[in-house]
């Protein structure tokens, strides 16, 4: 059992003033694996005050000192990578191999990347008679989700450290244990007291207190679009800066000159990674009418070998969903697709064969999905792929952009110049061409209701900076 009874505030593990605890459930076997305390408004105030008090000195530290901290954080994450991966797999249900690579390996690289970004970063520049200076924005409230818990935390903490900000983190109540382990790491690294503070609890309570707190200068939030709207409302009266990384319903376009076998095979993994619980998952597959049957055949053959089961088993490609609530939500979307007339290619309603417990669903593929169907329009956040046919390149782009979201996308073509032209027409924050690899130093974020601002790379760090002009 991973029972955490204290909060990390001002460089110390302290007893919370809130009452009760939140149990953490293993979604594979539905057993309690740990708990974290419920913070009170008083705990939130203490954490914010600690961050405010630490800001003056921390904001003026030498860049070389911040570089050293970031490199040491990366090193300690590496040292404890297996422990972190096992905790995240137990909390979220992510297959262990994917936990090692994406859930822990990526945060380690991201932390190190900010150490490199600081080397040579230009903090001051002359613009005619002005000196333009970039300065840390101040105290940052960070609210993170459960699907990529450590990655989303480090995606905020590392650039905040690089920028010279102090912070208060509230992790997801579904997967908070990795955040407490990270606090142990940051304590071992020796960050000055108050630079990083950790509280835990329910978003509707302390999350709201944190977002509206008068001594918080910025809120960095990752989660659902509806919750992001609420964060913006709470931050608006004090005109805080708000960055939001929200939902997605991203399209993956296979053009008529693409390698169908390769593109269709990749489409499975682009949608089903982390059991489909990825905001940037490519969940809408747009295919030429003439290639519809070939794409469906490739995917139906491949999906038969897409193993579902215990995520600690190295052979499992798909684990459970994070919670009973998530399982019920995804199941309702699968039922909706069937009821509204989409063609069921694979999967469907009910538990996967051979599994009697855990929050599992069958990896599901629908063909002949039309824009008026719920599964075409709404974010499902589970292993459900929707295939829609198109008659022309123009229609493909129109279908891809027919969404209130704009987080990610994909284009497959035998002609890279053509693929680039189509990619530039997509109203979305990032696009992969022919399966282009994720880049941790490129900006990540969305258009439309997928969010505000960017994370990762230089652009991610600059979200945490203010700009001052001094005329002379």
* 459 occurs within a structural domain: yes
The answer to whether residues 176 and 308 belong to one domain is no
Q: Is the pLDDT of residue 1 over 90?
A: no
* 445 occurs within a structural domain: no
Candidates 200, 199, 277, 210; CA nearest to 238 is: 210
The answer to whether residues 84 and 214 belong to one domain is yes
* Neighbouring residues of 173: CB distance < 8 A, sequence distance ≥ 6: 22, 36, 200, 201, 202, 203
The answer to whether residues 265 and 359 belong to one domain is yes
The answer to whether residues 233 and 258 belong to one domain is no
- Residue written as token pair 């991201």: 110
The answer to whether residues 268 and 242 belong to one domain is no
* 58 occurs within a structural domain: yes
In a 3-state reduction of DSSP, which class is residue 104? helix
The answer to whether residues 351 and 368 belong to one domain is yes
Question: CATH no. for residue 262?
Answer: 3.40.309.10
Is position 31 annotated as part of the catalytic site? Answer: no
The answer to whether residues 156 and 19 belong to one domain is yes
pLDDT for 304: 83
Is position 245 annotated as part of the catalytic site? Answer: yes
* 444 occurs within a structural domain: no
Mean pLDDT in residue range 37-54: 98
How many angstroms separate the CA atoms of 456 and 202, rounded?
Answer: 27
The answer to whether residues 87 and 150 belong to one domain is yes
Per the structure, the complete domain to which residue 267 belongs is given by: 251-439
* 185 occurs within a structural domain: yes
How many angstroms separate the CA atoms of 436 and 168, rounded?
Answer: 35
Which tens digit of pLDDT belongs to each residue from 119-178?
999 999 999 999 999 999 999 999 999 999 999 999 999 999 999 999 999 999 999 999
Which tens digit of pLDDT belongs to each residue from 270-323?
999 999 999 999 999 999 999 999 999 999 999 988 899 999 999 999 999 999
The answer to whether residues 84 and 29 belong to one domain is yes
| Cβ proximity of 84 and 111 under 8 Å | no
How many angstroms separate the CA atoms of 28 and 324, rounded?
Answer: 11
The answer to whether residues 197 and 315 belong to one domain is no
In a 3-state reduction of DSSP, which class is residue 293? helix
Catalytic residue among 165, 211, 271, 279: 279
Which tens digit of pLDDT belongs to each residue from 423-452?
999 999 999 999 999 999 999 999 999 999
| Cβ proximity of 163 and 136 under 8 Å | yes
* 315 occurs within a structural domain: yes
* 346 occurs within a structural domain: yes
Quote the pTM value: 0.97
The answer to whether residues 239 and 327 belong to one domain is no
The answer to whether residues 265 and 215 belong to one domain is no
Catalytic residue among 49, 174, 245, 278: 245
* 66 occurs within a structural domain: yes
Q: Is the pLDDT of residue 85 over 90?
A: yes
> For the chain, how many structural domains are there in total?
2
Question: CATH no. for residue 175?
Answer: 3.40.605.10
């Amino acid at each position: 059992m991973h029972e955490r009874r204290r909060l990390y505030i001002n460089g110390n593990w302290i007893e919370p003033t809130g009452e009760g605890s939140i149990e953490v459930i293993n979604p594979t076997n539905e057993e309690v694996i740990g708990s974290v305390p419920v913070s009170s408004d008083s705990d939130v105030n203490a954490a914010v005050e600690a961050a405010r008090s630490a800001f003056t000195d921390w904001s003026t530290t030498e860049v070389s000192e911040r570089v050293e901290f970031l490199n040491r954080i990366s090193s300690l994450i590496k040292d404890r990578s297996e422990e972190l991966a096992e905790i995240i797999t137990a909390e979220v249900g992510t297959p262990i191999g994917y936990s090692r690579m994406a859930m822990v390996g990526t945060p380690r690289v991201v932390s190190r990347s900010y150490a490199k970004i600081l080397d040579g970063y230009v903090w001051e520049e002359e613009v005619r008679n002005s000196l333009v200076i970039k300065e840390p924005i101040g105290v940052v409230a960070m609210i993170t989700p459960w699907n990529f818990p450590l990655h989303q935390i480090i995606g905020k903490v590392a650039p905040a450290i690089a920028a010279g900000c102090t912070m208060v983190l509230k992790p997801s109540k579904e997967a908070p244990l990795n955040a407490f382990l990270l606090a142990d790491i940051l304590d071992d690294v020796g960050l000055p007291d108050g630079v990083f503070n950790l509280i835990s609890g329910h978003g509707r309570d302390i999350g709201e207190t944190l977002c509206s707190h008068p001594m918080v200068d910025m809120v960095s939030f990752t989660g659902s679009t509806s919750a992001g709207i609420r964060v913006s409302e709470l931050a608006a009266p004090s005109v805080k800066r708000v960055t939001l990384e929200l939902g997605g319903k991203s399209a993956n376009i296979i053009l008529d000159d693409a390698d169908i076998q390769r593109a269709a095979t990749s489409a499975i993994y682009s949608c089903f990674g982390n059991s489909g619980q990825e905001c940037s998952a490519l969940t809408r597959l747009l295919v030429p009418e003439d290639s519809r049957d070939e794409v469906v055949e490739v995917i139906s053959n491949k999906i038969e070998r897409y193993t579902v089961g215990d995520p600690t088993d190295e052979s499992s490609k798909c684990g459970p969903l994070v919670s009973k609530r998530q399982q019920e939500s995804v199941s309702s979307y699968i039922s909706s697709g069937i009821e509204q007339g989409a063609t069921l290619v694979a999967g469907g309603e009910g538990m996967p064969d051979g599994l009697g417990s855990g929050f599992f669903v069958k990896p599901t593929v629908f063909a002949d999905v039309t824009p008026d169907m719920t599964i075409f329009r709404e974010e499902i956040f589970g292993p459900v792929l929707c295939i829609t046919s198109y008659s022309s390149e123009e229609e493909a782009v129109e279908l891809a952009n027919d969404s209130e979201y704009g987080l990610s996308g994909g284009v497959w073509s035998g002609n890279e110049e053509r693929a680039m032209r189509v990619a530039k027409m997509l109203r979305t924050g990032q696009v992969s061409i022919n399966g282009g690899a994720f880049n941790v130093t490129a900006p990540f974020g969305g258009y439309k209701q997928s969010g505000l601002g960017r994370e990762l790379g230089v652009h991610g760090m600059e979200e945490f900076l203010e700009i001052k002009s001094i005329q002379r």
